[in-house]
Structure 1
Amino acid sequence: MKLEVPGRQVGAEARLGIGVFGTALALFVLRFLVPRPVAMSNNGDGGRVLCGAGITWHGLPEPFIHLAYTADPGAPPCRPTYLLSQSWLADLAVRIGRLLGLHTTLSLVVLGLLSSVIAAAAVTAIVLGLPYARRARLAVAAGLLLVVADSAFFGYFAAVLGEGAAFLGLLLAVGGLLLTAREGWWSYAGMAVTLAGGVLAVNAKVQTLTILPILALAVFLVRPGTLRGAKRWAAAVLVVGALGAVTLSAQQSVEPAVAPDGTFAERPGDDSREINMFNSIFLNIVDGEHDTQADLADLGLPPSFAQYAGNGWWHPHPATMDPLYPRYRGQLSRRNVVTYFATHPGRTLEVLDRAATDQLTARPDYLGSFDQEAGFPPHAQEHRVPVVSWLTGLIAPLGLFALVPIWLFVLVRAWFQRRTALGVVLAFLFAVSVTQFGTAALGDGIEGVKHQSVALFTILLALVLCSPSLNSRQQPTVP
């Protein structure tokens, strides 16, 4: 194996890092601003992110984006029902805006530029964390840029939705885990980056809280290049403990939400639990396309509820309007839904197959990309970098027949790399993608494409890191 002078090697790594960061940032900024800024329009949930940034907003789903949200001085202060880490980025963008003279205003341009900087830094961390030849690392960088800049994902970075923070957090967590396995101060930097990425990803949405135990296990499995023995485990405990403490503190910082039945929610997202279970039952199970009476009987619901088959929570004629609804509200429980899916494997596979198609579709058609002054029709979308989402869209009709082979491919690659940090990262991404897929598929019957975006982004990151140039037979160039 060729020996290199440490100082020369550090210089080469620094040049590589600066080059990747500068190139990625320049491409992201151009992709974001030219010929005009793009984002994802508010689907109606953006009020939580804005509220966390100190801006009260009660807007309904909108076909256009707002390039700026200005706080109303006369509006009463709001408190979000649960925290989304995109609010932290939005709040930071508000603070940066004040330095530019934009008082009490959230500029999506500032938010998009801030997210572009973080995304470029995360891509750089991943590239520097791979101890392989420069050509292989640059190939991975190109693949990462294609995924991050794809039209299905990039617009979330400048949006008041939670997915953008999840994407950034996952990128940082992957880069941090890879850096942790390197020698010297790289290992300590990797732990810090992992913690920062984990906090962003875990707290991005209630749905992403399930990432916490998976990331914690990955932290314990990665072998720090610098530390050995008790120091290694102490460092892992410190990172996982800090991640858990920050998450617990953040999620408890919001006021208790009022659930639909008028009670106070005890956990984040409990105010929407009944809504989610209602939609899962009346859109996934009692959908009017199967044996409705048998499904109602299995769920413990009255036969008269057949008239509400296929009617979600926000439908003009939902079951909540029925006089019998208060008596049967208790049947709209997570346990009831899980029991049904566990005892009806055929229906479960059908729902999962539809969810796989939603995931590979990649992009919902109701989230617009432009502000109203741009002159485009409502819900118009940009397609500046459509490569990855176009490819997944081609195989989307295959559903599970397309998605399961992708999972198996990543799992096999993770197994062959099991003794390396790359293997741990691939296993982490695989586990996150599968759990996010199942949670979104079975836990809520609406916005399937949007709710599958985190699972899709995660598995695409794994595919990039499955590059043939990264294999256990190749000798690393970084000790």
Structure 2
Amino acid sequence: MLAVMAGVGSAVLLMVRLFVPRPVGVADNYDGPRLMCHLGVDVRLPRGMPRLRDYVIVRYDHIQHFSCRQEYLGSIRLPDVPYRSSQLVLLYAGRAVTRVLGLPGYLDLRAVGLVCCVLIGAAVGLLFRFVQLRYRYRVVLCGAVLVVVADTVFIDYAVSPFSEIASIVGLLWVVVGVVMLTAPGRRVRLAGLAVVGVSGLFFATAKTQNFPGVAPLAVVVLATPLAMPTRRLGRRLGGVDRRLRYRLAGLLTVLVLGVGAVAVSGNEDRRTARMTGANFVTVTLLPTSAHPERDLAELGAPAWLADYAGAPPWCAPTALQNGAAYKQFTKKLSHKQIMRFFLNHPGRLLPVLDRVAGYFYVPRATATLCQQTPAGKRMMVTPLLANYTKIGHTPRGLLDRRWTPVTDAVESLRGSGLGTLVVLWAVPVGAVVGTRRRRGMRGVGAVVGVVVTVAVAQFVASAFADGIDTAKHLNLAVFATALGWVFAAVELVVVAFGRRKQQSGAGAGRSDTRRGAKAESEPVELGTAATEGPAA
């Protein structure tokens, strides 16, 4: 009953956060049509609004006989390939809720926000039910998780045409599955394996950059021995080695995760891959180089790209982009060639990662534009995406600043580079390991290990993924890092209060021994353990 109350209460609080006193979300940066085209919908722009990024658009209307093979969605030219993402599950669920609630249009993103709040609330409720802590610590843990999720850089994506919210929902359910997988009881562990499998697939297919997150999930699943779901199946596999038999279910889960992630994530066509590689070279690699012309020559790129270091190549004049030298460069450029470059210049890797770390400390979503300088050169600018719908005289680009604990904490570290980021990942891991508490290492420790590894893997993948909209791409890394700190902090609180009670119990025992009474280490906690839940 308490778990149900925690889940329902969390969902309601998130709904209030999203819709009261007025809806908030994340405006489109003209990338949303690559996902929304699957539903055959078009944006309904308010009058007098020249740019999508200025306001959040919640209403989408259906277009007859429209598909992602169309070249244009309204006035927006679509890229060559649409996104394939588990976010589509949330969008179709939002379409159903739009009809049930009678909201205007074919799809209302506010309905998608409601679906996300329910899913997140359910994850918090299950976390409260299965985490191996006393009830008071469960309240602290779930409350802290809710505080993180409610930050504007996370929950606002629930009302947006982007797939970041699918990553957040998927990772939360992965955490629940890991907690269940490490809990006592065969049935709970088998249920946890199912949750990890389904939510892990949902999480890994939300964005291409999430693909490396399958690795830590595979380690946790394969490290957990599980008995067969039925005795009959166990008897049929009696001739199989015991260690393999107890990990067969985990092996099948990992296989499904890997195949599903590869099938959905590997959808980048050649032209988009070339553009992505070129963006990385000019936006991320060249600004860290003391000799950009030398790097360009080694990569087979035209020398004029050095003039656009720190900006995407499409900031250059069309004539240069249509030149034979640039076309030949993008045709030969590949991830293998970039990897070979870093193998030949390993010292260049850390400066690149340090530059990308700067985006981690500015977690708000941005658009990528090219702006003319007084000298006539075009440079990249990244205006922030708005968080409010257009109502009355709402100013353009208005940001949601009502609840930003994670945003403020991260932005306070701006400019500190990769070293501070490594510390942010190492501290929660070290804190959990340093407690040396067997139960904590089995449950909370596994969660911290998974989320920190996901944060590192997603950071590295995003660093080399594109070069533009990097702050948006790193949203999951920020979220996973915050979750790691939450779980580690609660574990430290549990240990600190446990040791204090042990010391007070030992002092009382010595006093009773002097009076001839029998000493007891925890006279109060032993009596309350049965009514309060599993011991911390």
- TM (norm. structure 2) is 0.76
CA distance in 1, matches of 2:173, 2:211: 16
Distance 1:123 1:427, change over 3 A: same
Contact 1:130 1:178 in 2 (8 A): yes
Alignment of 1:161-172 (within 5 A): 161-172=162-173
Structure 1 residue 456: Cα displacement: 0.9
Alignment match, 2:238: none
Alignment of 1:145-164 (within 5 A): 145-164=146-165
Alignment match, 2:493: 469
CA distance in 2, matches of 1:196, 1:55: 28
Q: Secondary structure at the match of 2:486?
A: helix
| Cα displacement string for residues 403-446 of structure 1 (whole angstroms, at most 9, x for unaligned residues) | 11111113324545685133222221121111111111233211
Contact 1:356 1:396 in 2 (8 A): no
Contact 1:47 1:58 in 2 (8 A): no
Contact 2:429 2:488 in 1 (8 A): no
Structure 2 residue 55 is matched with structure 1 residue 31: no
- Picking from 30, 51, 55, the partner of 2:41 is 55
Alignment match, 1:69: 60
| Cα displacement string for residues 165-218 of structure 1 (whole angstroms, at most 9, x for unaligned residues) | 001000000111101222254333322322232122101111112222332222
Alignment of 1:338-349 (within 5 A): 338-349=339-350
Structure 1 residue 101: Cα displacement: 3.7
CA distance in 2, matches of 1:225, 1:136: 30
Alignment of 1:37-116 (within 5 A): 37-55=23-41, 61-73=52-64, 75=66, 78=69, 81-102=82-103, 105-116=106-117
Alignment match, 1:221: 223
The number of equivalent residue pairs is: 450
| Cα displacement string for residues 126-160 of structure 1 (whole angstroms, at most 9, x for unaligned residues) | 23232011122111112101110001111111211
**Residue segments in structure 2 that go unaligned for 5+ positions in a row:** 46-50, 71-80, 230-241, 366-382, 500-524
Alignment match, 2:521: none
Structure 2 residue 383 is matched with structure 1 residue 392: no
Distance 1:276 1:178, change over 3 A: same
Structure 1 residue 372: Cα displacement: 1.7
CA distance in 1, matches of 2:227, 2:285: 50
CA distance in 2, matches of 1:355, 1:301: 22
**Residue segments in structure 1 that go unaligned for 5+ positions in a row:** 1-14, 252-266
Q: Secondary structure at the match of 1:70?
A: strand
Structure 2 residue 267 is matched with structure 1 residue 268: yes
Alignment match, 2:253: 239
Q: Secondary structure at the match of 2:60?
A: strand
**Identity %, equivalent residues:** 26
CA distance in 2, matches of 1:391, 1:76: 42
CA distance in 1, matches of 2:256, 2:105: 32
Contact 1:351 1:442 in 2 (8 A): no
CA distance in 2, matches of 1:452, 1:249: 23
Contact 2:127 2:176 in 1 (8 A): yes
Once superposed, what is the RMSD of the aligned Cα atoms?
2.9
Structure 2 residue 154 is matched with structure 1 residue 141: no
Structure 2 residue 453 is matched with structure 1 residue 431: yes
Structure 1 residue 300: Cα displacement: 3.0
Structure 1 residue 61: Cα displacement: 5.0
Alignment match, 2:475: 453
Q: One-letter code of the match for 2:253? A: V
CA distance in 1, matches of 2:345, 2:117: 45
Alignment match, 1:478: 534
Structure 1 residue 250: Cα displacement: 5.0
Q: One-letter code of the match for 1:177? A: V
Q: One-letter code of the match for 2:493? A: S
CA distance in 2, matches of 1:196, 1:270: 27
- Picking from 420, 425, 429, the partner of 1:407 is 425
Alignment match, 2:395: 377
Distance 1:425 1:223, change over 3 A: farther
Contact 2:363 2:478 in 1 (8 A): yes
Contact 2:203 2:210 in 1 (8 A): yes
Contact 1:181 1:223 in 2 (8 A): no
Distance 1:245 1:43, change over 3 A: same
Structure 1 residue 323: Cα displacement: 2.9
Structure 1 residue 236: Cα displacement: 1.4
Structure 1 residue 314: Cα displacement: 3.2
Contact 1:223 1:421 in 2 (8 A): no
Distance 1:288 1:435, change over 3 A: closer
Alignment match, 1:125: 126
Q: One-letter code of the match for 1:240? A: V
Alignment match, 1:255: none
